[in-house]
Amino acid sequence: MKFIDSSYDEKEGISCVTMQHLGKKFTDFATVHPDDKENASSYAGCEYAEIRATIRALKYERKIAKQKADEAIDFMKSCSGYAKFDKDSDTAKVMYRQMNQRIKRVNDLTDQINELIDELDKKIHRRAIVTGAIKRKKEMSKEDK
């Protein structure tokens, strides 16, 4: 995955990131929530947009991998339908191994996507906690003066 570009529009509160993966460009955005305008961060917005673009790219890769896995599964089903097919032969074992590797690749990509989705949710939640704590601390220091 290759990082191409990022930008932040301070007026609109929109971060945009473009990534390239498998010869295709993936662009995603992050928008500042109206309640968080005072705590807007170009770094956080671009980080969220980058994670979203990465998820989009991995979903594309997963789609391709799923097609390849489905082709391998269909091929194995059609081969095993023949009367003379020997599932214990070395050739059959190689074919099963290829099919299983393709299925594993799809599952690995699914796991990566799910981990990134969880990571994004946690980052957003942690940022909300930190900015809330900073806001409360500022309010307390104003009261002490």
Query: What is the length of the chain?
Result: 145
Taking the CA atoms of 52, 4, 33 and 39 in sequence, report the sign of the dihedral they define.
positive
pTM comes to 0.87
**Measured at the alpha carbon of residue 55, what is the angle toward residues 23 and 120, in degrees to the nearest 5?**
150
pLDDT digits (tens, 9 = 90+) for 91-123: 999 999 999 999 999 999 999 999 999 999 999
